[in-house]
Structure 1
Amino acid sequence: MPEEKSRKSKDLDSVFGKDSRLANFSNIDLVKRTGISLTGRYCVLVCLKTPPDGQRRVAFLISRRFSLLAVQRNRARRLFREVFRRIYPSLLPVWMLLIPRRRILDAKMQDVLEEVRGLLSRSELYQESP
């Protein structure tokens, strides 16, 4: 008998499935070269307003330069995944890269969420849902 996935993992899969990721190096490079870069306290957001496929996609660039400790890199990755899951319904079609800054290690998820919402609002890519 196949096991049912929990509701939370179903939501996460639908929002952050393979269709929502920028997986190709060429696509990531396209966003880096032609996208708009917005710098915040906890992260740098690079976004391409007119994606070729009209989808909402994201990639997280978290290298060993950010931290040599995998635990810290994974925490930043988890924060970004949760932020993307929460902003996804209000997000316009965009390809974006999220690059953490070291200050994110001391930040709460709510702080990072507010910052990313603010950066996306500045670039007119986020619409508050009623």
Structure 2
Amino acid sequence: MEKKITFTFSSEERIRKSRDFKYVFESGKSLGGSTMALYFILKESGKPRAGFIASKRFSKRAVDRNRAKRLMREVFRLNKHRLLPCDIVFIAKKGMNGASYREVEEDFLKLASKAGILKD
């Protein structure tokens, strides 16, 4: 029987607590691309979870920070079925300001492949 792929983004798939962010930052590994940085840590089982950060250092304008988080959320939502169980923290970089969805997705897939968190 085939496993049905869902493209929702439920609350179980989000990293919200500061202790979870701290755990990924301290225990995980990091990689940087042109539009984002990723901190990640593999898990034994479960679903991939993600947290998103776009600080004032990225942009002083809230509209730019919100767009960056929306882009990163959408990239995760549409590609989570390709990921191994892991916790990922996305951090927006200045290169994301004005970037298209396609550029952000290509950057994420390149980083995820380098990190070894993509399924074969």
Out of 73, 78, 82, the residue aligned to residue 81 of structure 1 is 73
Letter in 2 for 1:127: K
1:106 CA displacement: 2.1
Distance (whole Å) between structure 1 residues aligned to residue 49 and residue 40 of structure 2: 10
Q: Which has the higher helix share?
A: 1
Q: How large is the Cα RMSD of the aligned pairs?
A: 1.5
Out of 4, 7, 12, the residue aligned to residue 19 of structure 1 is 12
- TM-score normalised by L of structure 2: 0.88
Residue 7 of structure 2 corresponds to residue 36 of structure 1: no
1:81 CA displacement: 1.1
1:101 CA displacement: 0.5
Distance (whole Å) between structure 1 residues aligned to residue 80 and residue 12 of structure 2: 13
Out of 26, 42, 52, the residue aligned to residue 49 of structure 1 is 42
1:24 CA displacement: 1.0
Distance (whole Å) between structure 1 residues aligned to residue 106 and residue 95 of structure 2: 15
Distance (whole Å) between structure 1 residues aligned to residue 34 and residue 58 of structure 2: 15
Report the count of equivalent residues.
Answer: 115
SS at structure 1 position matched to 2:16:
coil
Distance (whole Å) between structure 1 residues aligned to residue 98 and residue 27 of structure 2: 31
Tell me the equivalent position of 1:5. none
1:64 CA displacement: 1.7
Distance (whole Å) between structure 1 residues aligned to residue 70 and residue 43 of structure 2: 26
Distance (whole Å) between structure 2 residues aligned to residue 21 and residue 50 of structure 1: 15
The list of structure 1 runs, each at least 4 consecutive aligned residues, that deviate by more than 2 angstroms after superposition, is none
Tell me the equivalent position of 2:108. 116
Distance (whole Å) between structure 1 residues aligned to residue 46 and residue 115 of structure 2: 17
1:67 CA displacement: 1.2
State the structure with more CA Rg.
Answer: 1
SS at structure 2 position matched to 1:38:
strand
**Which segments of 5 or more consecutive residues in structure 2 lack a partner in the other structure?**
1-5
Q: Percent identity?
A: 32
SS at structure 2 position matched to 1:106:
coil
Tell me the equivalent position of 2:96. 104
SS at structure 2 position matched to 1:99:
strand
